[in-house]
């Protein structure tokens, strides 16, 4: 296994300079996530408009390259999508990482598919899967308006 | 079931005691271990050792996975709903203390009642006694009859609106009584009282199905189930484990730690503080596989046959008296011989390579009830044979000879 | 001291990780085990297994004697007054909980103060936190300076007439700080405050003399001292162990049990309820013999050399920052690399067969103090060599390459 | 090892029909002893007269043949002796059992020496030593007017 499959350039890029970092204005939903094993922490802010589209989604947090990159890529992929589509993308992603299924969604363009696939290297590193999934679980939590912090020890 | 094949899996049976082949009839105390368990232990330490959960290097990942595999095996073995309901402890005694302490903290006030039975091992009495000392709880003992069966009607009568928990053994380590747990849980359920079952003696010998029993807690010791020492198990319904406060505090059971505030990990990690008996937990998986490879029904059948054989033979020996005659009896046979103290019996049969136990077997309440200060106990494991019983009986005859009994 | 001879006693070092020889630098988490320990474990289970203390047949007598021999060895190893001052637990975490819980019961009231430090492992904080929750105690943290040394003058200032106990680590598992316990005990002694020392990290690496330290309690984990998992040790001055109430309740720790009253066994049995990790305790004797066969002074010298070598080499790598620079440092080296998260470091060096740990190492308070969420940690055992350090450093260079750092 | 060395006829005899069993009248000292491992229990009653001679010594209790016989033999050996002599006999006995030393006392006649030596077989059975020594420790405790119950776990 080449480490470069895990640490692809896209990952390093997003890890170093994450997109949509910070607290967005007028967010309508939020949730926190925590990976106790690693100490990764993430706070997702989601702004849905009246048509239930993802107007904006941003995050704050600390963590390893995988976790930051995964969060950054997630925000890019769901931003501008309808809520339903966003949910489908999350499910697709989790299925890919945890059940090694293919990405089925028709809602991603080629560039976006490359981005999401760049995270698939993590499948070879079981202890790092939680780093990759934390943000996505946290987004789901924000959508569902859950009060409790997401904890990957419980979820995964 | 080929008993020779089974016995051959236990390396200790090639050993001699005082020049005689070992006849091990002390399995209720602790069982011997099959080769597969010892190989697993040794292999893990020699080839794969690492602490679990905390590090993320390859050794740690492998160890963590194997540790969790044992949890899953136990879940299946006792038919729990989820592997999160399985907590590892150091022994069944700690498992029971965990429940008594955490349950007691929030659910026991002065005057509240804890219902146990006259059959209980000290490990299922002392932890509750602490709540008497610290909280002013009241402990009631459901009585047994002379056969060694719990008198269920009396147990029922002892339940009041103040009864907060019932703690009862599944299988007596003195009389071999198999307790009708399902019946007791049904009674308790109607009054919304949780039930803890001490499954120390039952786990190796009868089928356990916590879903069917519907008990709230179930405590097991690995070392009595053909596993290594140092590992205990607590089954707890998830709703309980989530609700109860943490027990031992330290590394691995926390979520976030600040100078003024601590939040805890979710179950089962919440109850697994500090470095666990990693290698021993991993090896215990082989114990379960060993039991499953024989099949619990075959184990029950073999041990039942042997128990009946032993009871018949022992009853024929002059002045031997079997203690208890429960409706449903497992391979735990306590007895006394008029004119010979149990310790003298143990010493004398030991000369013939026969290992039995003498004393109160951590059941002083029961011995008081039976008006005995001590008994001798022969307890059966899956590896025992009719020849073992024959040698025991001959050794007992020898006790009578040494003591010049007629 | 012949390092090759030492390394050859650890079977795991013939193994490969991802095709590379194992470079084990996670000994602060748990150490590897020498052959003699594994042979003892295996031999006992295969040839001599029995539970201790309770039965009086030959196997039980032998097991009991060997179990007690380990107690005596530990007594000598840490220079205790009597073997009755040595209690076996499941890990150091339990040892500390035992003290916090039993000491707390009778000696801590609302408003009383417990003094710990910013260096403490969660296992030496959470148990005391419980007393905050249940008793309204106050926990104070003696601060450290940026080097990772406890500021003794500040610690002194934090002591008040309400300070009931001081709990402090002997050796930090993050910064490698060796804490001047003797100085702290002297301060405490003047005010009659007992001191508990968390000796988890010190036991394998520096000379321990509890008589000289004059501390009241000392907690150790066998698995960090080249011993099996599942065994902890609590040293306690006899006057304390005798005075404090029992902890876990059950078989083996009682004297007389009645329906209305229970009296307890004398120490150390009072604190050893239920079946203990018999085989593991017995095998731990070989760990002590292993350490003694090398000699603690030789171990200290070897590890000091290696630590200095590692520090020098690591400091030369661009963007590596060592955490803490204590006056007296053992072989625990935590570091960060600007631009690479510790978990990424651990994953990448693992590809080279290098096992290190990444995270907060159960020291969130310390990490908060240092403004870090995680660090990478290389920790040294007696079996490590300069080549191990060289491979580590090369693997770290590789991290920089993977992350394309300049 | 022949079991008959442990269970000599003298032992069996005393075990079955112990001498000086019961609570003697007007005892001046008493003490209880307990062997938690075995459950053996003994209660020793001692009557010293004004000249500090052992006027009477009796016991109650339960236990194995070794423990009952040892107690019975003890009462026979110290009865009628001066307190100082009684103490010496106790020390002699404990030294014999625990340190395998010879009986030194000149205060025992031949018959008594045979009796005390009949207990020496126990040295080969480490777990049974406490059964043999319990009564003797308890006598010492009675002499010293100790309040606490003797516990062989602590003593031996
Ligand atoms: C300083 C320190 N204290 C306490 C502990 C807890 O030890 P254990 O997990 O063996 O209970 C550790 C090890 O993790 C430690 O490094
Ligand atoms: C019925 C029963 N309960 C509890 C225990 C305590 O088990 P452990 O000593 O393994 O904690 C035992 C075994 O001694 C037992 O037989």
Mean pLDDT of D84-88: 94
Distance from CA of D134 to the nearest CA of C (A): 15
Question: B307, B380 in Cβ contact below 8 A?
Answer: yes
- pLDDT band of residue A50 (cuts 50, 70, 90) is very high
Distance from CA of A110 to the nearest CA of B (A): 33
pLDDT tens figures, C315-330: 999 999 999 999 999 9
Secondary-structure percent of chain B, ordered helix, strand, coil, rounded to 5: 45, 20, 35
pLDDT, position B242? 97
Question: C66, D126 in Cβ contact below 8 A?
Answer: no
Let me know if residue B45 belongs to a domain: yes
Neighbours of A156 (CB within 10 A): 14
Mean pLDDT of B51-79: 92
- pLDDT band of residue B84 (cuts 50, 70, 90) is very high
pLDDT, position A40? 84
Q: Is the shortest distance between the CB of C249 and ligand 2 below 6 Å? A: no
Residue holding tokens 């408003």? Answer: C111
Residue D1 has pLDDT above 60, yes or no: no
pLDDT tens figures, C19-73: 999 999 999 999 999 999 999 999 999 999 999 977 788 899 899 999 999 999 9
Distance (Å, whole) CA B79 – CA C382 = 45
User: What CATH topology corresponds to A3-151?
Assistant: Sufe protein. Chain: A (3.90.1010)
Mean pLDDT of D124-144: 91
Distance (Å, whole) CA A61 – CA A43 = 6
Let me know if residue C30 belongs to a domain: no
Same domain, B263 and B337: no
Mean pLDDT of D78-107: 88
**CATH code for the domain of B214:** 3.40.640.10
**HEC profile for B230-293?**
CCEEEEECHHHHHHCCCCCCCCCCEEEECCCCEEECCCCHHHCCCCCCHHHHHHHHHHHHHHHH
User: C251-255, long-range: CB within 8 Å, 24+ apart, which pairs?
Assistant: C251/B93, C251/B121, C251/B122, C251/B123, C251/B362, C251/C54, C251/C275, C252/B362, C252/C53, C252/C54, C253/B126, C254/B122, C254/B126, C254/B364, C254/D36, C255/D34, C255/D36, C255/D151
Mean pLDDT of C258-266: 95
Residue among B394, B341, B404 nearest B20 (CA): B394
pLDDT tens figures, D28-83: 999 999 887 777 889 999 999 999 999 999 999 999 999 999 999 999 999 999 99
Distance (Å, whole) CA C292 – CA B143 = 55
Nearest CA in chain C to D129: C56
More confident residue, A26 or A102: A26
Q: Is the shortest distance between the CB of B339 and ligand 1 below 6 Å? A: no
Of the residues B270, B292, B314, the one at which a domain ends: B292
Torsion sign, CA atoms C155, C156, C159, C164: positive
Distance (Å, whole) CA B28 – CA D65 = 26
State CA A28 to chain mean position distance.
Answer: 18
Neighbours of B161 (CB within 10 A): 7
Of the residues B292, B310, B333, the one at which a domain ends: B292
Q: Is the shortest distance between the CB of C205 and ligand 1 below 6 Å? A: no
- pLDDT band of residue C144 (cuts 50, 70, 90) is very high
> How many residues can be counted in chain A?
156
Ligand nearest to the CA of B362: 2
Question: C90, C232 in Cβ contact below 8 A?
Answer: yes
Torsion sign, CA atoms C346, B59, C171, C167: positive
Residue A1 has pLDDT above 70, yes or no: no
Residue C290 has pLDDT above 60, yes or no: yes
Ligand nearest to the CA of B54: 1
Same domain, C16 and C62: no
CA distances (Å), origin B166, targets B155, B189, B397: 10, 11, 42
Distance (Å, whole) CA C351 – CA C359 = 18
Let me know if residue C33 belongs to a domain: no
- pLDDT band of residue A99 (cuts 50, 70, 90) is confident
The lowest-confidence range among B47-56, B71-80, B191-200 is: B47-56
**Contact state of D64 with B339 under an 8 Å Cβ cutoff:** no
Residue A154 has pLDDT above 70, yes or no: no
- pLDDT band of residue C187 (cuts 50, 70, 90) is very high
Of the residues C292, C314, C347, the one at which a domain ends: C292
Same domain, B220 and B277: yes
Mean pLDDT of B299-314: 98
Mean pLDDT of A28-48: 89
- pLDDT band of residue A126 (cuts 50, 70, 90) is confident
What is the count of structural domains for chain C?
A: 2
Residue among C98, C73, C94, C93 nearest C83 (CA): C73
Same domain, C322 and C391: yes
Question: C30, C229 in Cβ contact below 8 A?
Answer: yes
The three-state secondary structure class of C326 is coil
% of chain B with per-residue pLDDT over 90: 96
Q: What is the mean pLDDT of chain C?
A: 96
User: pTM for the whole thing?
Assistant: 0.96
Same domain, C228 and C324: no
Mean pLDDT of C245-250: 98
Quote ipTM for the complex. 0.94
Residue among A152, A144, A156, A155 nearest A39 (CA): A152
Residue D154 has pLDDT above 60, yes or no: no
Please give the residue range of the domain that contains residue B182: 38-292
Residue D155 has pLDDT above 70, yes or no: no
Chain D residue numbers with beta carbons less than 8 Å from the beta carbon of B404 are 12
Upper half-sphere CA count for residue C259 (Cβ side, 13 Å): 15
Mean pLDDT of C108-122: 98
Same domain, C138 and C277: yes
* Chain A interface disruption, residue of C17, C174, C343, most A CBs within 10 A: C343
Q: What is the mean pLDDT of chain D?
A: 89
Sequence spans of domains, chain D:
3-151
The encoded tokens of residue B310 equal: 């032993």
Is C362 considered catalytic here? yes
Chains B and D are in contact, defined as 3 or more C-beta pairs closer than 8 angstroms: yes
C351 closest CB neighbour out of A3, A65, A128: A3
Residue B54 has pLDDT above 80, yes or no: no
Distance (Å, whole) CA B331 – CA D28 = 50
State CA B117 to chain mean position distance.
Answer: 16
The three-state secondary structure class of A65 is helix
pLDDT tens figures, B351-399: 999 999 999 999 999 999 999 989 999 999 999 999 999 999 999 999 9
């Amino acid at each position: 296994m080449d480490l470069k499959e895990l640490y692809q350039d896209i990952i390093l890029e997003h890890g170093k300079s994450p997109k949509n970092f910070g607290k967005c204005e007028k967010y309508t939903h939020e949730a926190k996530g925590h990976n106790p094993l690693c100490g990764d922490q993430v706070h997702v802010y989601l702004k849905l408009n009246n048509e239930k589209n993802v107007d904006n989604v941003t995050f704050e947090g600390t963590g390893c390259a995988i976790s930051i990159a995964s969060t950054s890529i997630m925000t890019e992929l769901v931003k501008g999508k309808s809520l339903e589509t966003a949910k489908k993308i999350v499910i697709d992603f989790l299925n890919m990482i945890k059940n090694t299924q293919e990405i089925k969604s028709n809602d991603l363009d080629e560039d976006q598919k490359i981005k999401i696939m760049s995270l698939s290297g993590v499948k070879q590193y079981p202890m790092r899967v939680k780093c990759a999934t934390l943000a996505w679980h946290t987004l789901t939590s924000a959508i569902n308006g859950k009060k409790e912090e997401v904890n990957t020890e419980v979820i995964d | 079931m080929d008993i020779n094949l089974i016995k051959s899996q236990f390396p200790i049976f090639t050993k001699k005691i005082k020049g005689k082949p070992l006849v091990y009839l002390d399995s209720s105390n602790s069982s011997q271990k099959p080769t597969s368990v010892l190989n697993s232990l040794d292999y893990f330490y020699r080839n794969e050792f690492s602490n679990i959960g905390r590090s993320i290097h390859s050794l740690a990942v492998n160890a963590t996975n194997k540790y969790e595999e044992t949890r899953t095996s136990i879940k299946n073995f006792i038919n729990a709903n989820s592997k999160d309901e399985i907590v590892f402890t150091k022994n069944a005694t700690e498992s029971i203390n965990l429940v008594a302490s955490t349950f007691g903290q929030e659910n026991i006030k002065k005057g509240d009642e804890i219902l146990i039975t006259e059959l209980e091992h000290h490990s299922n009495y002392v932890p509750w006694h602490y709540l008497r000392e610290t909280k002013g709880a009241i402990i009631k003992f459901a009585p047994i009859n002379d056969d060694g069966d719990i008198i269920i009607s009396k147990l029922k009568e002892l339940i009041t609106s103040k009864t907060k928990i019932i703690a009862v053994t599944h299988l007596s380590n003195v009389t071999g009584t198999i307790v009708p747990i399902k019946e007791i849980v049904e009674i308790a359920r109607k009054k919304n009282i949780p039930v803890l079952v001490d499954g120390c003696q039952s786990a190796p010998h009868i089928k356990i199905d916590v879903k069917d029993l519907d008990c709230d807690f179930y405590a097991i010791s690995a070392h009595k189930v053909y596993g290594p020492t140092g590992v205990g198990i607590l089954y707890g319904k998830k709703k309980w484990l989530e609700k109860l406060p943490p027990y031992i505090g330290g590394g691995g059971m926390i979520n976030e730690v600040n100078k003024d505030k601590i939040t805890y990990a979710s179950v089962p990690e919440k109850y697994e503080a500090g470095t666990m008996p990693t290698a021993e937990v991993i090896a215990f998986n082989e114990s379960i596989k060993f039991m499953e490879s024989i099949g619990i029904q075959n184990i029950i059948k073999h041990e039942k046959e042997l128990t009946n054989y032993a009871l018949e033979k022992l009853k024929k020996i002059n002045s031997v008296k079997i203690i208890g005659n429960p409706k449903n009896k497992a391979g735990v046979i306590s007895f006394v011989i008029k004119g010979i103290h149990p310790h003298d019996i143990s010493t004398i049969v030991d000369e013939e390579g026969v290992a039995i136990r003498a004393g109160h077997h951590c059941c002083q309440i029961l011995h008081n009830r039976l008006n005995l200060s001590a008994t001798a106990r022969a307890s059966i494991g899956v590896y025992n044979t009719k020849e073992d019983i024959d040698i025991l009986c001959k050794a007992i005859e020898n006790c009578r000879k040494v003591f010049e009994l007629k």
